[in-house]
């Protein structure tokens, strides 16, 4: 079943063509990676899907419904959640408070929201940090908090924008494990990631963005072998890694 | 509220009564105070203290929880005062009914102000609300009548003390006023408490702190701010009617001036905006300064209290940016812990 479809999506900022004619399908239960060099237009594409701004042209279809131009909070209620590349915790509040705000997307009762928030925190092994102020978290925990908060809204599709950046290798492995487990529980993932090891291990399919154009799409192994991808992005470095 | 509701943990073993005991004691103390304070002057000062605590608590719903800084709440005080006064002078309507009608008008006006201005951020929002309130004051100052309603421009309106009694919200002594404003304050604090523990409160705070993140979590931030503004302007307006009935004379400078808006903001910022105790503490600390500086320096140094507020605000913002409620709440918690030895860590 196709959960998310992008048909020839373009986003221009004045004369800058940040994303051009991008098409992609994400099946329910998949983990699809989106990679590309800095400035390739990945976050712009995410922002179009998440409703931060509408695409200049093209269609975005979620569960059979056109969603381009809808507001972020409407999309959240439809089942699309996201994390931010530059984390945006409610810093003066505790971890539990942060996640409870997310849980309020699907319930109106405080006790129920807190119960769900705690359950999410347990899945992400953060329950012992529940009463820590978000401002006092390490970067790894802040990234995890972004995911926890998004998860608490009970999404069908989760957009992850570089949640591995800044994590230590063991933490990356943990995060990969967590995302796989969440996928098994029925959540679909669309993931921007710079850490190649993680995105290769995690993704069922990968799309490659370069200067706003999709230059490749396929299985991780195929993409890694693709000449244009290697030239545009991976360079010699990937062979070494 | 930061420390008080967020880190709420089950108070294991501590009976509920004990948990609420300090609050109940405080309430009993507040209700018993007029039995001890017999001086009309001091009672007057206490009433103003409660009035400002009430105003700031009402303001706090939008200024504290929603993370914006409205500086035009005097407009709602004015609308409340003028609505009930005009209706009671011209049509003999009970000020209680005028109070509710004024509240409804203020709610509509508050939402109308909020619609365009909540899109602005930081100082721009504050400036827009100042502009609106000042505009309204200047308008009233220059209007002798508005349609069928006599406003009397800058001369204001005098309420002749003909009929005293609860139904007319007019009393010969000060005690009834004290109990009415105290009840209003208790209700406003109760509403704040309920909001802070509700979806509305959580989502407002989230939207105030990180609007983009809040929106991605399904929160229509602008809509919630309008709801907060509606509640806040309604409650603020009720105080306007109370004020009019208490002083029996209103004019644009007395019920709509910028000083009122500023004093509310000072109290909130120094006491701690976004917390329940902040406005109460702020009023408790600042109102006496304001009154005594007016009593003792009213002739020689008018406006001295605003200078003092400014200095205090700078110091508080430097050393306790969350307001004085934070260290005091911590102290209180530690005291309770020592007394009862239960873990309610903050």
Name the residue facing B212 among A88, A102, A104 (closest C-beta): A88
CB proximity A117 to B under 8 Å: no
User: Which chain B residues are closer than 8 Å to A108 by Cβ?
Assistant: 199
Name the residue facing A88 among B9, B213, B218 (closest C-beta): B213
Max CA distance (Å), chain B: 65
Angle at B29 between CA B25 and CA B31, to 5 degrees: 120
User: Which chain B residues are closer than 8 Å to A110 by Cβ?
Assistant: 197-199, 202
pLDDT tens-digit series, residues A81-109: 999 999 999 999 999 999 999 999 999 99
User: Which chain A residues are closer than 8 Å to B67 by Cβ?
Assistant: none
Residue B185, CA atoms < 13 Å, CB-side half-sphere: 25
Residue B246, CA atoms < 13 Å, CB-side half-sphere: 25
CB proximity A105 to B under 8 Å: yes
Name the residue facing B216 among A82, A96, A109 (closest C-beta): A82
- Hey, are the CB atoms on B205 and A153 less than 8 Å from each other? no
The full 3-state SS of B162-194, as one line of letters, equals: CCCEHHHCECCCCHHHHHHHHHHHHHHHHHHHH
Low-confidence ranges of chain B (pLDDT < 50): 1-13, 343-346
- Hey, are the CB atoms on A100 and B202 less than 8 Å from each other? yes
Q: Which residue of A has its CA nearest to B5?
A: A97
Q: Which residue of A has its CA nearest to B344?
A: A131
In words, the CATH class of domain A2-79+155-240 is alpha beta
User: Which chain A residues are closer than 8 Å to B216 by Cβ?
Assistant: 50, 72-73, 76, 81-82, 84, 150
Q: How many CB pairs under 8 A join A and B?
A: 89
pLDDT at A241 over 60: no
pLDDT of residue B3: 40
User: Which chain B residues are closer than 8 Å to A111 by Cβ?
Assistant: none
User: Which chain B residues are closer than 8 Å to A152 by Cβ?
Assistant: 217
**What is the residue-averaged pLDDT of chain A?**
91
- Hey, are the CB atoms on A84 and B213 less than 8 Å from each other? yes
* Contact between residue A210 and residue A232 where contact means Cβ atoms under 8 Å apart: yes
Q: Which residue of B has its CA nearest to A72?
A: B216
Angle at A116 between CA A110 and CA A122, to 5 degrees: 135
User: Which chain B residues are closer than 8 Å to A100 by Cβ?
Assistant: 202
Name the residue facing B210 among A81, A88, A153 (closest C-beta): A88
Q: Which residue of A has its CA nearest to B346?
A: A131
User: Which chain A residues are closer than 8 Å to B197 by Cβ?
Assistant: 110
| Distance (Å) of CA B286 to CA A70, A174, B45, B55, B183 | 47, 53, 12, 14, 21
User: What is the band of A235 on the pLDDT scale with cuts at 50, 70, 90?
Assistant: low
CB proximity A153 to B under 8 Å: yes
pLDDT at A79 over 80: yes
pLDDT of residue B7: 43
- B46 domain residue, yes or no: yes
Q: Provide the shortest C-alpha distance from residue A84 to chain B (in Å).
A: 8
Number of compact structural domains in chain B = 1
- B300 domain residue, yes or no: yes
CB proximity A194 to B under 8 Å: no
DSSP state for residue A94 in the 8-state scheme: B
- Hey, are the CB atoms on A92 and B213 less than 8 Å from each other? no
- B345 domain residue, yes or no: no
Domain boundaries, position B327 = 2-340
- Considering Cα of A40, then A46, then A52, then A56, what sign does the dihedral take? positive
Instruction: Tell me the CATH number at B297.
Output: 1.10.3470
CB proximity A47 to B under 8 Å: no
With H, G, I as helix, E, B as strand and everything else as coil, classify residue A24: strand
User: Which chain B residues are closer than 8 Å to A77 by Cβ?
Assistant: 218
User: How, if at all, do strands A188-192 and A31-35 pair?
Assistant: parallel
- Hey, are the CB atoms on A101 and B212 less than 8 Å from each other? no
- Hey, are the CB atoms on A149 and B202 less than 8 Å from each other? no
> Across-strand partners of B158?
B249
ipTM: 0.90
pLDDT of residue A46: 93
* Contact between residue A143 and residue A166 where contact means Cβ atoms under 8 Å apart: yes
Indicate which of B217, B225, B343 best probes the interface with A, i.e. most A CBs within 10 Å of its own CB.
Answer: B217
The better pLDDT of the pair A184, A237 is held by A184
pLDDT tens-digit series, residues B82-101: 999 999 999 999 999 999 99
Q: Provide the shortest C-alpha distance from residue B41 to chain A (in Å).
A: 42
Domain limits of chain A? Answer: 2-79+155-240, 88-153
Show the tokens assigned to A207.
Answer: 């799309």
- Hey, are the CB atoms on B218 and A105 less than 8 Å from each other? yes
Name the residue facing A105 among B2, B217, B221 (closest C-beta): B217
Show the tokens assigned to B57.
Answer: 């608590």
Alpha helices in A79-229 (DSSP H): 95-103, 110-123, 139-151, 169-184, 196-202, 220-225, 227-229
pLDDT at A158 over 90: yes
pLDDT tens-digit series, residues A12-70: 999 899 999 999 999 999 999 999 888 889 999 999 999 999 999 999 999 999 999 99
- Hey, are the CB atoms on A101 and B219 less than 8 Å from each other? yes
User: Which chain A residues are closer than 8 Å to B211 by Cβ?
Assistant: none
User: Which chain A residues are closer than 8 Å to B345 by Cβ?
Assistant: 131
Q: Provide the shortest C-alpha distance from residue B269 to chain A (in Å).
A: 16
- Hey, are the CB atoms on B215 and A100 less than 8 Å from each other? no
- Hey, are the CB atoms on B206 and A72 less than 8 Å from each other? no
* Contact between residue B86 and residue B157 where contact means Cβ atoms under 8 Å apart: yes
pLDDT at A183 over 80: yes
């Amino acid at each position: 079943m196709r959960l998310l479809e992008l048909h020839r999506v373009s986003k221009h900022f004045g004369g800058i063509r940040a994303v051009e004619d991008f098409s992609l399908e994400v099946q329910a239960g998949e983990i699809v990676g989106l990679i590309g060099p800095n400035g390739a237009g990945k976050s712009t594409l995410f922002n179009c899907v998440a409703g931060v701004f509408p695409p200049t042209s093209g269609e975005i279809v979620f569960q059979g419904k056109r969603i381009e131009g809808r507001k972020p909070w409407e999309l959240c209620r439809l089942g699309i959640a996201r994390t931010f590349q530059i984390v945006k915790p409610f810093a003066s509040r505790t971890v539990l408070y942060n996640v409870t705000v997310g849980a309020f997307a699907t319930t109106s009762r405080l006790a129920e929201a807190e119960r769900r928030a705690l359950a999410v925190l347990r899945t992400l092994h953060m329950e012992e940090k529940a009463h820590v102020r978000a401002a006092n978290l390490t970067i790894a925990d802040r990234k995890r908090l972004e995911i926890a908060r998004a998860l608490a809204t009970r999404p069908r599709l989760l957009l992850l924008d570089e949640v591995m950046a800044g994590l230590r290798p063991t933490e990356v492995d943990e995060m990969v494990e967590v995302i796989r487990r969440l996928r098994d529980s029925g959540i679909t993932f669309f993931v921007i990631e710079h850490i190649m090891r993680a995105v290769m291990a995690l993704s069922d399919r990968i799309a490659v963005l370069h200067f706003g154009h999709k230059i490749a799409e396929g299985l991780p192994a195929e993409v890694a072998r693709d000449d244009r991808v290697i030239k545009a992005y991976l360079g010699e470095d990937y062979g070494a890694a | 509220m930061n420390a008080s509701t967020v880190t709420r943990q089950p108070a294991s073993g501590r009976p509920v009564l004990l948990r609420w005991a300090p609050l109940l004691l405080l309430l009993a103390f507040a209700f018993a105070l007029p039995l001890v304070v017999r001086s009309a002057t001091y009672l007057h000062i206490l009433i103003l203290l409660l009035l400002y605590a009430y105003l700031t608590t009402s303001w706090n719903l939008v200024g504290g929880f929603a993370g914006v800084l409205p500086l035009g709440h005097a407009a709602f005080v004015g609308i409340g005062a003028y609505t009930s006064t005009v209706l009671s002078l011209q049509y003999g309507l009970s000020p209680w009914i005028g109070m509710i009608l004024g509240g409804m008008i203020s709610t509509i006006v508050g939402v109308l102000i909020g619609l365009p201005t909540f899109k602005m951020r930081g100082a721009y929002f504050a400036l827009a609300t100042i502009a609106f309130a000042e505009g309204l004051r200047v308008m009233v100052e220059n209007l002798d009548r508005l349609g069928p309603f006599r406003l009397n421009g800058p001369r204001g309106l005098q309420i002749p003390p003909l009929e005293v009694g609860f139904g007319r919200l007019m009393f010969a002594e000060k005690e009834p006023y004290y109990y009415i404003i105290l009840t209003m304050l208790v209700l406003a604090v109760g509403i704040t408490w309920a909001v802070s523990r509700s979806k509305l409160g959580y989502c407002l705070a989230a939207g105030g702190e990180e609007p983009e993140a809040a929106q991605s979590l399904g929160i229509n931030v602008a809509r919630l701010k309008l709801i907060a503004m509606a509640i806040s302007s309604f409650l603020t307006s009720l105080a306007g009617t109370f004020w009019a009935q208490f002083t029996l004379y209103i004019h644009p400078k007395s019920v709509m001036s910028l000083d009122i808006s500023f004093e509310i903001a000072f109290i909130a910022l120094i006491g701690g905006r976004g917390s329940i105790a902040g406005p109460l503490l702020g009023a408790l600390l600042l109102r006496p300064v304001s009154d005594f500086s007016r009593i003792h320096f009213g002739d020689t140094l008018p406006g001295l209290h605003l200078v003092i507020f400014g200095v205090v605000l700078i110091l508080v913002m430097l050393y306790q940016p969350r307001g004085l409620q934070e260290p005091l709440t911590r102290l209180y918690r530690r005291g309770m812990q020592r007394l009862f030895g239960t873990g309610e860590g903050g």
